[in-house]
Amino acid sequence: MMVRLHSADLNGIDAVPVEVEVDVQPGMPNYVTVGLPDAAVKESRERVRGALLNCGYQFPLEVVTVNLAPADIRKEGSQFDLPVALALLIATGQIRREDAHGGFLFAGELALGGNLRPVRGALAMALLARSQGKTLVCPAEDAPEAALVEGCTVIPVRTLVQAVRFMRGEEAVPPEPHRDYDALRADPPDHLDFAEVRGQSLVKRALEVASAGGHNVLLLGPPGSGKSMLAKRFPTILPPMSFEEALETTRIHSVRGERRRGGSPVAAMRPFRAPHHTISYAAMVGGGASIQPGEISLAHNGVLFLDELTEFKRDVLESLRQPLEDRAISISRVKGNLTFPASFTLLAATNPCPCGYYGDPSRQCRCTPPQIARYLSKLSGPLLDRIDIQVEVSAIPPEDLRHAAPGEPSSAVRARVAAARERQRERLKGTGAHANAQMSERHVERDCPLAPEAEAFLMNAMRALGITARGHHRILKVARTIADLAGEGAIAAPHIAEAVQYRTLDRKLFAG
């Protein structure tokens, strides 16, 4: 007897439909899985057999063929355990055929005792089930995440026995209630606050502008000047995510298997990824046998913090150029091409030289010019050109460190940032962009009107500094954010002046 049930596999951050066909025929006991299964899928035979026997069901001692269609796409993961087990029970008459109809999509990993374990990509599978008009039957631990998809009915089951009783109509399993995102939002941790940072008012202002517009930032200064301290507090002034942003962020982390178990089912805060400088190219951009998202995509809608920027491998740094420009990363492999979203704010920090004191008026640099040149050679011109805000972090004088008044709290800065970001959302509604840094050239021309004195200032700055066309557009985007923070419609000369000063550090540094 042949039985067909519906399941799903992951392709990037999307779920694709898979038909689980199980055929049981008389003959010598044999069990084979076809349809390009990976090792985890092949091993499902032992998990299914153990779960069926330990739950008191019969495992067929006949010729069993499991086909995962379409057969030309490689199947990965353990989510096929549940549909295979249920299909075996239907094929052997332990569940009536009429109890199994095509309105369900099954996914779940079986433990040997019959309990259901969570799987990757529950949110993506719920989106697929909704598009197909099906009910998703999944492990109870994955149900809160799947229930974020409005319009999708999610049935949470904890054991194989409960799933069987539900199929037979012997137990009514209530659907997982839909989650309200507003009730799941979380505030930034209160143990980190901008008020704890003494001095550095210019750097704090630059980070406020970056947060308000989603702009990339480079912090350059000597050791101990507070670069890492400022970077760790940067998430406390980021604006809250919209539901659409949270849903997409959660889907990426769920596919990667990084969703927090027992915590919020949705990304309640913007991601803050801080990979070590020894990270490989594949770990940064994504890849592997199943082409999973890397750190660049895991930072989507959040922050990618690269401390000691010049210590990263050159190819890793150059891999940032495409996502910084296109807000996406394309990965090409022999088995296929995938594009992952990668709209993040790059926050980078570095010393100006190997010893860290090049240009510091209070400490003498011990590095030779060739050493400094080699140290900075990893920061290519095209990469620096994509960093909107470049700011120098000077060492704090001892009197400021000991006696300066506490700074402005993060909550006050975050309120201004949220108001500016709301102005941007209204202005960019329907464009697919959420912040000024994401504006296209057409939107820059439309939404960045300059007052006459601002136009003259920008022209003079471009001639004097040799600013490229890309730099011109990025200056306008930053100036637009500065005007939004001030609540002004037109961009004035002071807004342009502040935006231009954020792009002069690289020229000063490499001019030596």
Question: Cβ(424)–Cβ(242) under 8 Å?
Answer: no
Could you tell me the CATH number of the domain that includes residue 45?
A: 3.30.230.10
Question: Cβ(99)–Cβ(169) under 8 Å?
Answer: yes
Domain assignment present for residue 84? The answer is yes
Among the candidates 130, 150, 168, a domain finishes at: 168
CA-based nearest residue to 476, from 487, 463, 467:
467
Long-range contacts of 420-429 (CB under 8 A, 24+ apart): 420/212, 420/213, 420/481, 420/484, 420/485, 421/212, 421/239, 423/484, 423/487, 424/213, 424/481, 424/484, 425/242
Domain match, 6 and 68 both: yes
Domain match, 327 and 407 both: yes
Structural domain for 11, as ranges: 2-168
Among the candidates 105, 134, 168, a domain finishes at: 168
Domain assignment present for residue 72? The answer is yes
164's CB contacts (< 8 A; 6+ apart) are 55, 57, 86, 89, 94, 95
89's CB contacts (< 8 A; 6+ apart) are 52, 57, 95, 164
Domain assignment present for residue 438? The answer is yes
Domain count, the chain: 2
Strand 286-287, strand 328-333: pairing: unpaired
Q: pLDDT digits over 218-274, tens only?
A: 999 888 888 989 999 999 999 988 888 888 999 999 988 876 544 677 777 899 999
CA-based nearest residue to 346, from 323, 371, 328:
323
Domain match, 199 and 291 both: yes
Structure tokens at 277: 């400088």
Domain assignment present for residue 384? The answer is yes
**Which letter, b or e, does each residue of 480-505 get, where b requires 16 or more Cβ atoms within 10 Å of its Cβ?**
bbbbbbeeeeebbbebbebbbebbeb
SS3 243: helix
Domain match, 25 and 114 both: yes
Question: Cβ(437)–Cβ(445) under 8 Å?
Answer: no
CA atoms of 30 and 42, how far apart (whole Å): 13
Domain match, 237 and 157 both: no
Domain assignment present for residue 177? The answer is no
Sheet containing strand 154-157, edge to edge, reads: 104-106, 135-139, 154-157
Domain match, 292 and 243 both: yes
Bridge partners of 304?
273, 346
Could you tell me the CATH number of the domain that includes residue 348?
A: 3.40.50.300
Domain assignment present for residue 181? The answer is no
Domain assignment present for residue 80? The answer is yes
Domain match, 290 and 417 both: yes
Domain match, 275 and 164 both: no
Domain match, 22 and 100 both: yes
Average pLDDT of every residue of the chain: 89
In 12-62 the beta strands, taken as DSSP E runs, fall at 14-25, 30-34
* pLDDT for res 509: 56
Domain match, 129 and 208 both: no
Question: Cβ(84)–Cβ(64) under 8 Å?
Answer: no
Owner of token pair 């300059």? 450
Per residue of the chain (512 residues), give pLDDT as tens.
Answer: 899 999 999 988 899 999 999 999 999 999 999 998 988 899 999 999 999 999 999 999 999 999 999 988 889 889 999 999 999 999 999 998 887 777 999 999 999 999 999 999 999 999 999 999 999 999 999 999 999 898 999 999 999 999 999 999 999 999 999 877 766 776 676 678 888 888 788 999 999 999 999 999 999 988 888 898 999 999 999 998 888 888 899 999 998 887 654 467 777 789 999 999 999 999 999 877 678 899 999 999 999 999 999 999 999 999 999 999 899 998 887 667 888 999 999 999 999 888 888 877 778 888 898 888 888 888 888 888 889 999 988 877 776 666 666 778 999 999 999 999 999 999 998 888 889 999 988 888 899 999 899 999 999 988 888 888 888 889 999 999 999 999 998 899 999 999 999 987 655 555 44
Domain match, 422 and 381 both: yes
Question: Cβ(273)–Cβ(298) under 8 Å?
Answer: yes
Domain assignment present for residue 184? The answer is no
Domain match, 299 and 412 both: yes
pTM above 0.75, yes or no: yes
**Alpha-carbon Rg for the chain in angstroms:** 27
